[in-house]
Structure 1
Amino acid sequence: MAAALTSESGKQGRAATTVLSPNSSPQVDTPYSIYTRKEKWIIVAMVALAGFYSPLPANIYFPAIPTIAKAFHKSIDLINQTVTVYLVFQGISPMLWGPLSDRYGRRPVFLICLAILVGSSIGSALCPTSAFWLLLLLRCFQSGGSASTIALGAGVIGDLSTPEERGGFFGMFNLGPMLAPCIAPAIGGALSQGLGWRSIFWSIVIMVAACLLCVALFLPETLRSIAGNGSVRLPLHLRTVIPIVGKKTTPTSTLQEHSSGNEKRSVNPFPLFTYPDIVILLSFTGIVYAVNYTITATISSTFSSVYPSLSETILGLCYLPTGAGMIIGSTFTGKLLDWEYARLKSRSTEGDDRRANVTIEYARLRTMPTHLLIFVACVIGWGWSLHFNAHIAVPLILQVLLGWTSIAILNTTMTLNIDILHSRSSGATACTNLVRCSLAAVLVSVIERMESRLGLGWTYTFWAGICALLLPLMMVEIKIGPKWRRERELKEK
């Protein structure tokens, strides 16, 4: 029954593991999590807040690049190296922190990463203008501390959630990391213009310090190989200072009493790149993310060229439609994933063998062709609307749709990744982060040359075509992915 849907559902959010078989009734086991659904939402909100600070230091910095170049007496091209090193470490660092959290716990790694971000941001704010090398080094540490919060948050959701609710939780969680690139440039531009470029780093210090305090006081340890379903009595250094969740349940059991095979695994995530179904998901996520990130990163420069009458304040506001689309898309897609899973699960209990063998890959990816085709059409429309100097309302409306569909695709692939690699959720998300950041860095570095040679219309038509070629890969994942997954699970057993 490896191909059949597996769900964990329970009363008032206290989920119990249930395996759906076409010829038997569900058998309820021990509760999957002691936390109520409301308490899970509180935890997800905390890790979403931490995830917001993963892309924030990069995007809030963009508007201040010309000012920083003057302050350090360097060219803009040289200052752009601070962006390059940030992207490099944004891709690499989760490959360390994510797997470590899969072995030693989410809470301590969260605290270490946020503390590194606070310290490096203080150093950046105080950096002397005669030491450009120091700014480069501190940007590396900023990226190393901030980038991993996405992988850590995905790990927490994997620990807490059952497949029925995982889509909704990922929808909420991804709002943090995806909204930052949309609102951070406007904040950074206002701070740099009003208070100077150093105020950008001081604002990061204040915001992240508040988040660090929130995590230290309230976030419980959730790693199942350490905390089980939340009922395991933890050592003092892993306990919350103020337990605002799980208060109705007193931890009494030991991990051995609660163990369900969640052993600690190797911290090396690189073998995940040898799994063909995972490689397909990583390719899908990375390419779509890179194309959308490039559009978002070039909104200011492209609009200032196509619509030269726009002020810097208006250019900053032009990022907001993308954020609005992401808010709508994240909320809607999360509910859609949960609804689709529940609907297909209910069909699998009707006794029809054909319906019972619905796979998790099909349940998650069934709606993806629609999202992908809309995304492709919007990328083409974006390029040609700017090429022909269409009214500014046209690209702004397309930004809403691009934000909607891009986060829908990201939510779906990340949710499926956690479904497939549940016990290595942070490592799986770290691999996703490595691929998408690497592809985004490459695409951002070549997009200006492509636009100058091909024009805006043909440049984005080319990248839309690359995204359209992902559709056959999606079909392969749905049809053959379950076979690869079953073979891998048998080998691991």
Structure 2
Amino acid sequence: MTDVPPDEAVRSSNSSPVNEVPYSIYSRKEKWLIVAMVALAGFYSPLPANIYFPAIPTIAKAFNKSTDLINQTVTVYLVFQGISPMLWGPVSDRRGRRPVYLVCLSILVGSSIGMALCPTDSFWLLLLLRCFQSGGSASTIALGAGVIGDISTPKERGGYFGMFNLGPMLAPCIAPAVGGALSQSLGWRAIFWFIVIMVALCLLCIALFLPETLRSVAGNGSIPVPRHLRPAIPVVGRKAVMSSPSSDDILNRNPKQSLNPFILFTYPDVLVLVTFTGIVYAVNYTITATISSSFAIIYPSLSETVLGLCYLPSGAGMIIGSSLTGKMLDWEYARIKAKKGDNFTIEYARLRIMPFYLLLFIGCVIGWGWCLEFNSHVAVPLILAVILGWTSIGILNTTMTLNIDILQTRSSGATACTNLVRCSLAAVLVSLIDRMTTRMGLGWTYTFWGGICALLLPLMFLEMKMGPRWRGKRDLAEKAEEA
């Protein structure tokens, strides 16, 4: 393994020698507060899509349109959910996290007000507002990933990223129950007023408290930023002692960055990671999105309220998986780094536990299909939903944490690329799943997708072996270009 370059690029950009200022001046409590704020914002990325599902029949009736036509609003939402972070992510990597957060959340509030007031004879306006709603909400995941990359080292990043992902991953499990209850009791417009109120509170929280963390602007947090980038109430980092920038700060204040995130798809290690993440996410999203429709047919005695509650086991699995995976990633990083020494690579440290997660995920996907095929007791698929939630978020946390590790100064752009791939694949798979289950049956359909996921396993071993070499060559080329 001596021909594999050590993880110097990641280590040098994420740590400082003794006697120099630390990578981040924020205390552990302050970092957790920052992570909590960006996780709250991330919660509102998938929320408008999933809270909307139970109201689709009601909205179809209100607008005098077919359900299939109303489903176009879901399609356009997924399309813009994939596209918009490709704009906002790179902009935040250059201009700052705070202003992009404020713009995106403001767009989400405005478009949600428009949807709440949308006349029922203007279907075109509903479609247009869904595009803006998605464009405003989708980028909060890429922005949050960028913030975590700004404030955390690889040693601690797994735990922070695991907790951050709770926000965007819990929304699909909680939102349908909330949306169904609001639509049934107060009408479909109440769903969008609910989004307006909740997002406005989040926007206020970001405006008041979130510091600017972009390292090319704020360094490790000790460098003064322009007034428009400062929080109204600087409760985070206010006790930090100002110091002159270290070499680490200087390097991070002047990275050569491109506003074109598509160039990241030319990096083979990034391409492997986004492909792996995208396929697993699309399969899990399809299972989650079809819980209510599948259960309504297979278990006709379940009420709408109970169908909404059936999403909660998946959420419970995500809570468990996010907490365990984050701690495990940090523990594995420290253990393997101490064991490997100069032969340490970040790819091996992050992905060593991935085969376990993937094999368990595959087994549950196949089991899910055959449980529904044979009309097993409802408790069986709900137990599988817990494990699916745990393993899917474990895979997502692992691959996205590694993406931030290897693309430190372009973390939002890297996450935007992942978002584009996974949302695009999810949109395609959701549009195909009904036809597949009709022709193949539930059991063979999910056996097929489990088999597709099994084909991903060699990609992880390829990433562990070749990733350090690909990254090393890229780092050398970038250093030569800068010189």
Per the TM alignment, residue 362 of structure 1 is displaced from its structure 2 partner at its CA by 0.2
> Per the alignment, in what secondary structure is the counterpart of residue 156 of structure 2?
helix
Superposition pairs for residues 52-131 of structure 1, below 5 Å? Answer: 52-131=43-122
Counterpart residue identity of residue 187, structure 2: G
* Residue pairs, 1:13-32, within 5 angstroms: 16-18=15-17, 29-32=20-23
How much does 1:450 deviate?
0.2
Secondary structure of residue in 1 paired with 2:71? helix
For 1:248, the aligned partner's letter is: K
Give the AA of the match of 1:33: S
Identity of aligned residues (%): 76
Q: 1:17 offset after TM fit, Å?
A: 2.0
Residue 462 of structure 1 aligns with which residue? Answer: 448
Determine the structure 1 residue equivalent to 2:29.
38
Q: Hey, what's the Cα distance between the residues in 2 that align with 1:440 and 1:29?
A: 45
Q: TM-score normalized by structure 2?
A: 0.96
Aligned to 1:272: 264
Give 2:294's match in structure 1, choosing from 286, 294, 302: 302
Separation (CA, whole Å) in 2 of partners of 1:129 and 1:164: 53
Q: Corresponding residue for 1:190?
A: 181
In the alignment of these two chains, the number of paired residues is: 474
Q: Distance in 1 between matches of 2:19 and 2:372?
A: 57
Pair 1:426 & 2:412 matched:
yes
Aligned residue type for 2:425: L
Q: How far did residue 444 of structure 1 move?
A: 0.1
Is structure 2 residue 328 aligned with structure 1 residue 342?
no
1:248 match = 239
| Separation in structure 2 between the aligned mates of residue 254 and residue 164 of structure 1, nearest angstrom | 23
Give the alignment of 1:359-398 within 5 angstroms. 359-398=345-384
- Deviation at residue 244 of structure 1 after TM alignment: 1.1
Q: In structure 2, how many angstroms separate the alpha carbons of the residues matched to 1:32 and 1:357?
A: 23
3-state SS of 1:314 partner:
helix
Q: Secondary structure at the match of 2:148?
A: helix
2:3 is aligned with 1:4: no
State the one-letter code of the partner of 1:279. L
Contact 1:5-1:357 at 8 Å conserved across structures:
no
Q: Secondary structure at the match of 1:17?
A: coil
1:261–1:43 CA distance, 2 compared to 1 (3 A): closer
Distance of 2:334 and 2:345 partners within structure 1: 13
Q: TM-score, normalised by structure 1?
A: 0.94
The corresponding residue for 1:157 is 148
**Shift, 1:6, TM fit:** 6.9
Unaligned 5+ segments in structure 2 are: none
Letter in 2 for 1:144: G
| 8 Å Cα contact 1:232/1:255 also seen in 2 | no
Structure 1 counterpart SS, 2:16: strand
Aligned residue among 442, 446, 449 for 2:432: 446
Residues 23 and 220 in structure 2, CA contact (< 8 A), matched pair in contact too = yes
The CA distance in 1 between the partners of 2:67 and 2:11, in whole Å, is 53
- Residue 376 of structure 2: SS of its match in structure 1? coil
User: How far apart, CA to CA, are the structure 1 residues paired with 2:399 and 2:474?
Assistant: 19
- Gaps (5+ residues) in structure 1? 10-14, 19-26, 350-355
**Range that drifts further, 252-261 or 362-371:** 252-261
Rounded Cα–Cα distance in structure 1 between residues aligned with 2:467 and 2:147: 25
* Residue 140 (structure 2) pairs with residue 146 (structure 1): no
2:325 pairs with one of 314, 330, 333:
333
Q: Deviation of residue 28 (structure 1)?
A: 5.5
Secondary structure, aligned partner of 2:21:
coil
Does the residue aligned with 2:232 lie in a helix, a strand or coil? Answer: coil
Match in the other structure for 2:166: 175
Q: What CA RMSD, in Å, does the superposition of the two structures yield over aligned residues?
A: 1.6
Q: CA deviation at 1:30?
A: 2.7
Q: Is the 8 A contact 1:120 1:138 kept in 2?
A: yes
Please give the alpha-carbon distance, in whole angstroms, between the structure 1 residues aligned to 2:230 and 2:422. 34
How far does the alpha carbon of each residue in 1:316-352 deviate from its partner, in whole angstroms, 9 at most, with x for none?
Answer: 0000000000000000000000000011122245xxx
Q: Return the offset for 1:251.
A: 4.0
Q: Which amino acid aligns with 1:472?
A: P
Q: How many Å separate the matches in 2 of 1:374 and 1:386?
A: 18
Pairwise CA distance, 1:257: 9.6
CA distance in 2 between partners of 1:161 and 1:176 (Å): 19
* Cα deviation, residue 3, structure 1: 1.9
SS at match of 1:450: helix
